[in-house]
Structure 1
Amino acid sequence: MKKKITLISMMALFVLMTACSSGGASKDGVKQAADPNVKVDPFKMPNPIEVTTFKSLSPGAKLPAGDTVESNQYMKYISEKTNINFKILWYAASQDYDQKMKLAIASNDLPDVMLVNEQIFLSLAEAGQIEDLSKVYDKYASPLAKELYASTNNKAIEKATYKGKLMGIPNISVQADAASMAWVRKDWMDKLGLQPPKSIDDVAAIAKAFAEKDPDGNGKADTIGIAGFEKALTVSGKAQRGDFKGIFQAFGAYPSNWIKDSSGKAVYASILPETKQALGKLRDMYAAGAIDKEFALRKDPNENIVSGKAGMFFGPWWSGGLVADALKLNPKVDFVPYLIPDAKGTVNTMMVPVSTQFIVVKKGMKNPEAAMIYANTFINAQRKVDPDALKLDFTVSAEYWPIGNSTYDYADAVERKSDTLKKAMGGQIKPEELNPEMKELLAKATRDKANPKADLKDWSGYYGYTVPADLLKMNMNKVYSEFTANTKTMERKWVNLQKLENETFFGIVMGEKPFDSFDKFVTDWKAQGGDEITKEVMDEISKSKK
C-alpha cells in the first residue's frame, strides 16, 4: 500500500513538473498561465539524443568571434532546453545548397530533420520519404504553437497536409505584410488643397498634381508623383515598398499569382481581363507624368522618398522606418497611409502564403517527436515568452539556429499587438502584465507621446501598430494564391514565359507597345506552355487534396 501511494505521488509530481515546464504562453502580448492539461513535456526529450540536419547559410551571415556553425548560442540553447543535440552533416549557401539538397533527395540520403520549401516538401511527401506527423502534432504541440496555428483558421495545417496526413510542421507568415498601402504626403496635399484619396482616380489625380505643381516650393519641376521600382508590375504576397500592388488590386488584378476563376478553377491571373484594365490605368498615369519616369530602371525607390522628391509610394504597414529616414532630412514630411478600394468600394488584398517553409522528418526516424519539441522551443524563443531566451543576442543571424530561420507568429500578430498597445496606453492593461516585446513597444510609445518624434527610432518602432494597423482591421476581400510551388513544365518553360510577360507589361505601361498587345500576350502565353502548365497546376492541387 505504501509503495502504491509513493508511485501515485511520483506520477502526480511528474505531471505537475511537466505542466510547469511548458512555460507561460503569451496571448495578444499578455502573459498566460501554463496549460495544466499537458500530459507530456512538449519542450524536452526525456534523454539526450542526436539529430542530424542540413543547413542553408547566406554568405553575409556572421557569428561572434569563437563561435562556429556547429557551436554557437542558438545550438547551445536548444541543446540545454530540449536534450536535442543537432549534428550538421553539411552546410552551404544558396545555389550550392539547392544543388546538394537535390542530390541528397535523389539518393534518399536525408538527415533526420530539415527545413524545406514548399516545392521540396511536396516532392518528399509524394515520394514517401518523410514521416506522417499527425500523431506527433496532436500529442506534442505546445499550447502556444496550437494557438498560433489556430490564428490561421487552420490554413497553415492544411498547407502542411498531404493526402489527409500532416507531413510537416509549417511556419506561419504574418498576414499584415500583404496589404499594400498608398503612403501619401499630407503636407503636400494640404499645400495644394487636395483631399485624401478614396479611389484609384484620386490617386492618379493627386500624383499628377505632385509632379506638376511644385509642392516642395523650390521653383523647379523636379518632384515625382508615385515612386516605383523595377519589380513594380508584379504582385507578390508580401507588399513591397515601391510596387504597384495597390493599383493592380483596385482593379481586382493579381498578376503573377494563381487564383480561382468564377468556376472555381485555378487560373494564372496575369492573363485575365482585370490585369489588362490595371495596365491600361498605369499606362495612362505614366503618360500623364504621375509615375516616376525612371521606375523601370530603379533597383530601389527609397532614394526619391527619403530625399523628399516623391510624394507617394505604395508599401506595407511597416514603412515607418523609411518615413523616419525622410523625416531626418525634413521634419515637415508627413506621409499618411491609405488603403485604395476598387470601383465598388471593396479593398482587395492578395495575401501572403500562410506557410512557405516546413520542418520535415525523415521516414523511419526513431524519435519524430523531436521535430515538434524543437519547434515548440524555437517558437517560445522567437516570441520571447521564455525568460531564458531574453539572454540571447538576437543581433546574431537567426540562420544559425540548428535548422535555420523561419517565422512562427499569430497570423494576425500586427492587429493583436495594436489592440494590446492601445489598451496598455489607455491603462486597461498594466505594464507588468505585458510580455517583453509589448513592454518595449509601450515604452517607445510612451516616450514618443511625451516628446513627439524627438527620437525617430522610438517613433518608427511603434508607429506601424497605430494608424497603419488600424487600416488592417478594415474589412477586405482577401485573396489567396491557389498554387505557390512549381511543376515539371514550369521548370523548363517558366523563364521564357516570365520574359514574355515582363516585356509585354513594361511595353504597355511605358507606351512602347500598343495597349492591345496584351491580347497577343495571352495567346502566346497559352501556346508557349501556359495551357500545359495550367493543367499541371490543377492536377497538383487535386493530388494534394486527395
Structure 2
Amino acid sequence: MLAFVIALTLVLSACAKNESNEGKASNSGASPTASQSAEGTASATSASEENPFKMAEPVEISIIKSVVPDLKLPPGESIEDNHFAKYLADKTNIRFKVLWYATGDDFTQKQKLAIASNDLPDIMSVDETTFRSLVEGGQVEDLTEYYNKYASDKVKEMYGAANNLPLEKATIDGKLYAMPNISVLADSISMAWVRQDWLDKLKLPAPKTVDDIATIAKAFVEQDPDGNNKKDTVGLLGNNVELYSFAYTGSYDFTAIFHAFDSYPGLWLKDENGKVVYGSTTLQTKQTLAKLKEMYSNGLIDKEFMIRKESSQLVNNGKAGLFFGPWWAPWPLGDSIKVDKNADWKPYLIQDSQGKYNTHMVPPTTQFLVVKKGFKYPEALVKHINFYLSNGTGVSGARDKAEEDQLLDYSLLQHLYPLYTTFDYPDAVARKHEVLKKALDGQIAPEELTPEMKGHYDRWQRDLKNPKAEPGDWSAPYAYLYGGGLLTQKMDKEVYNAFTATTKTMSQKWANLLKMEKEVFFKIVAGDKPVDDFDKFVEAWKKQGGDQIIAEIEAELQK
C-alpha cells in the first residue's frame, strides 16, 4: 500500500496542472552558476526565436526503460511503439528508440554495465550517485547553454518554486549537467494520526507535544476507549523495520518524536562549525532513544511492535487509535472505517520543547535526466521537459486538453511515457488542498477544476451524502482536506540532507554500519541495552568506517 500510494501520488502530481497562482515564484529559474553560459550567448529571449516545445526537424533519441513485471499493454502496442510515443512524435518531432528495457535489479545491472562500457543511450534518467560519476567521467553533456536558451518560463518558474535546489544539485563546477526532477515536499512531514472520537470520549485535549502523545497512549491502553469493557487496546504503534524515516515519511515509525528532540537520524548534517555530522550519532538522538525506551517500558508503545508483522491490523480492527504517518495516511485508513464508521481520524503536528515545529525534508531532487556526451541535439531534452509541463497542450493534466490529449491512457503514463519523471511544485499537496477547499466552499466552480481535483470533489460530495459508506470516496479527498490542510502550517525548522549520493567507503561498509545502528537502537528502546551503550555505538561507528565516510563526503561537498 505504501509503494502504491507514493507511486499514485507522484503520478497524479506529475499529471496535475497548478490550480492557483498563489505563491508563484520568480521566473528567474536557474541558480547563479547555471544561469550564465561562458560566452554569454544564452539569453532568455533566445527561447522566443524557436518553438520551445518542438524540434524544427524530426529527431531520433535512443533511451532505455525500466518496466514493471507483467505490464499489460494495449493491443498492438509495445514499449517503444505505443500511443504516447506517436503522440510525442507528432507534438515535439522527437521519436524515441528504446535500445533495451528490463525490470528491477536487471535494469540496474544492465545500466551499470552500459555506463562502465560507455555504451550509453542518448538520454537517460539516473540517481545522484550515478550522475556524479558520469560527470566525473566526462560522459555527459554540459546543458547550461541549452537550459538558458530553451527552457520555458513554466520550467523556470517550477524550479524557482523549489528555490532552485534541484538545479543546484545538478550543477557541478558551475555547469548544469542534467535536467533534475522536482520532489513534492509534502512527503517529508510526519503527523500524529489520532482517533478523535476516542479523544472526545476520554475528554483528552489534542496532542501538541511528545508528553501529550505519552498521555494519550496511556489513556488508550488503560481507559477502554473502544468501550468493550476489556483492556485490549494499545497505545502508540511502531513497526519492526525502522524507528525513523530520513527521506519519504513512512507509517508507524517515530520520526516525529526524533524531530521533536531536534534529532535527524539518517541524515548528513552540518554542525555549528560547518563540519559534517551523521544525524544518528548526535546527543539529541541519544535523548530521543532514552524517551522511546521510557515510553516502551511503561507500556505506552505497542509491546509487540518489534515482532509484529503488520501494525496496520491493529488499526483496521479497531484496537489502535494512535500512530505517526504521512499526509496520505487516509488511503490505508479506508480499511479502518470499513470496520467502524465512527472512527474519526485527525492529524496533528508535534512541537519541540520550545513550541517549534521541526522536520527533515525529502531530497529536492532524486532523478537526473542526462544527455550523452557528443549527442547532436541536447536541446531536445529541454524541449521535451517544456512540453511535459506545458499548459493546455502537454500531458501535465491541464484542464483544456486538445482532443488527441483526451485519447491518452494516463494509467499507463509512468510505464509508457518515454522519459517519464516526477515533476511538480514542491508544495503541490498544499496547493491542491486550497483548491479543493475553495471548490467545496463555492469559491471555485467544479467545472474549473482539473480532472484529478474534480474527481476528489465528486468523491467528497458522495461521501457527504452517505458518510463513510464507500472508503474509496472518503480516503483521497480526506487526505487532501485534513492531511494536506495540516501542510499549510509553517514549519519552524526544515532540515535537508547535506549529502544524498554515495562515497567509495559507503559502497563498501554502509550496509554493515546500518545493520549495527539498527540493532543497537532497537535494543536500547526494548531495554535490552542501557542508553549509555549509544556512546559505544558512536565510537564503533566512527572506527568501522564512519570517520572515513565523513572525510569523503566533505571532499565531495567542496567540489
Is contact 2:337–2:468 with CA below 8 Å preserved after alignment? no
Whole-angstrom CA distance in 2 between matches of 1:50 and 1:270: 48
1:102 partner amino acid: K
In structure 2, runs of 5+ residues without a counterpart are: 1-15, 25-43
1:170 partner amino acid: P
State the TM-score, normalizing by the size of structure 2: 0.88
Question: Relative to 1, partners in 2 of residues 1:212 and 1:64: Cα closer, same or farther, differing over 3 Å?
Answer: farther
SS in 2 for 1:415: helix
Whole-angstrom CA distance in 2 between matches of 1:188 and 1:434: 36
SS in 2 for 1:105: helix
Per-residue deviation, 1:532: 0.2
Deviates more, 1:472-481 or 1:437-446: 437-446
Matched, 1:221 2:236: no
Residue 536 of structure 1 corresponds to 552
Per-residue deviation, 1:474: 1.5
Whole-angstrom CA distance in 1 between matches of 2:150 and 2:358: 38
Question: Relative to 1, partners in 2 of residues 1:30 and 1:451: Cα closer, same or farther, differing over 3 Å?
Answer: farther
Whole-angstrom CA distance in 1 between matches of 2:540 and 2:70: 41
Structure 2 counterparts to residues 283-362 of structure 1, below 5 A: 283-362=293-372
Matched, 1:383 2:396: yes
Residue 27 of structure 2 corresponds to none
Residue 480 of structure 2 corresponds to 465
Residue 247 of structure 2 corresponds to 237
Q: 1:216-244: per-residue Cα shift (whole Å, max 9, x none)?
A: 12233321212221233132221111121
Residue 474 of structure 1 corresponds to 489
Matched, 1:87 2:100: no
Deviates more, 1:274-283 or 1:374-383: 374-383
1:475 partner amino acid: K
Is contact 2:19–2:431 with CA below 8 Å preserved after alignment? yes
Matched, 1:396 2:412: yes
Whole-angstrom CA distance in 2 between matches of 1:73 and 1:105: 30
Whole-angstrom CA distance in 2 between matches of 1:312 and 1:123: 44
The structure 1 residue matched to 2:374, chosen from 364, 378, 383, is: 364
Is contact 1:62–1:397 with CA below 8 Å preserved after alignment? no
Matched, 1:147 2:157: yes
Q: 1:319-351: per-residue Cα shift (whole Å, max 9, x none)?
A: 111222211111010111000011011111100
SS in 2 for 1:336: strand
SS in 2 for 1:396: helix
Residue 28 of structure 1 corresponds to 19
Residue 406 of structure 1 corresponds to 421
The structure 2 residue matched to 1:77, chosen from 87, 90, 99, is: 87
Residue 417 of structure 1 corresponds to 432
SS in 2 for 1:466: helix
Per-residue deviation, 1:26: 4.6
Residue 8 of structure 1 corresponds to none
Residue 519 of structure 2 corresponds to 503
Q: 1:1-29: per-residue Cα shift (whole Å, max 9, x none)?
A: xxxxxxxxxxxxxxxxxxxxxxxx95435
Per-residue deviation, 1:113: 0.3
Per-residue deviation, 1:30: 7.4
- Using the aligned pairs only, state the percent identity: 50
Whole-angstrom CA distance in 2 between matches of 1:230 and 1:66: 45
Residue 18 of structure 1 corresponds to none
Matched, 1:273 2:283: yes
Q: CA RMSD in A?
A: 2.2
The structure 2 residue matched to 1:55, chosen from 65, 88, 92, is: 65
Whole-angstrom CA distance in 2 between matches of 1:363 and 1:392: 33
Whole-angstrom CA distance in 2 between matches of 1:383 and 1:392: 12
Whole-angstrom CA distance in 2 between matches of 1:526 and 1:389: 55
Residue 22 of structure 1 corresponds to none
Whole-angstrom CA distance in 1 between matches of 2:144 and 2:476: 39
Matched, 1:251 2:261: yes
Whole-angstrom CA distance in 2 between matches of 1:223 and 1:382: 47
Question: Relative to 1, partners in 2 of residues 1:459 and 1:39: Cα closer, same or farther, differing over 3 Å?
Answer: farther
Whole-angstrom CA distance in 1 between matches of 2:436 and 2:244: 34
Q: 1:16-65: per-residue Cα shift (whole Å, max 9, x none)?
A: xxxxxxxxx95435799xx9984322221122111111112232543234
Whole-angstrom CA distance in 1 between matches of 2:123 and 2:109: 18
Q: 1:276-318: per-residue Cα shift (whole Å, max 9, x none)?
A: 1111111111111121222223454322212211111111111
1:391 partner amino acid: L
Per-residue deviation, 1:376: 2.4
The number of equivalent residue pairs is 516
State the TM-score, normalizing by the size of structure 1: 0.90
Structure 2 counterparts to residues 139-178 of structure 1, below 5 A: 139-178=149-188
Deviates more, 1:371-380 or 1:481-490: 371-380
Question: Relative to 1, partners in 2 of residues 1:82 and 1:251: Cα closer, same or farther, differing over 3 Å?
Answer: same
Residue 468 of structure 2 corresponds to 453
Residue 14 of structure 1 corresponds to none
Deviates more, 1:189-198 or 1:139-148: 139-148
1:211 partner amino acid: V
Matched, 1:100 2:97: no
SS in 1 for 2:444: coil
1:402 partner amino acid: P
Is contact 2:85–2:417 with CA below 8 Å preserved after alignment? yes
The structure 1 residue matched to 2:500, chosen from 469, 484, 499, is: 484
1:438 partner amino acid: M
Question: Relative to 1, partners in 2 of residues 1:410 and 1:300: Cα closer, same or farther, differing over 3 Å?
Answer: farther
Is contact 1:384–1:390 with CA below 8 Å preserved after alignment? no
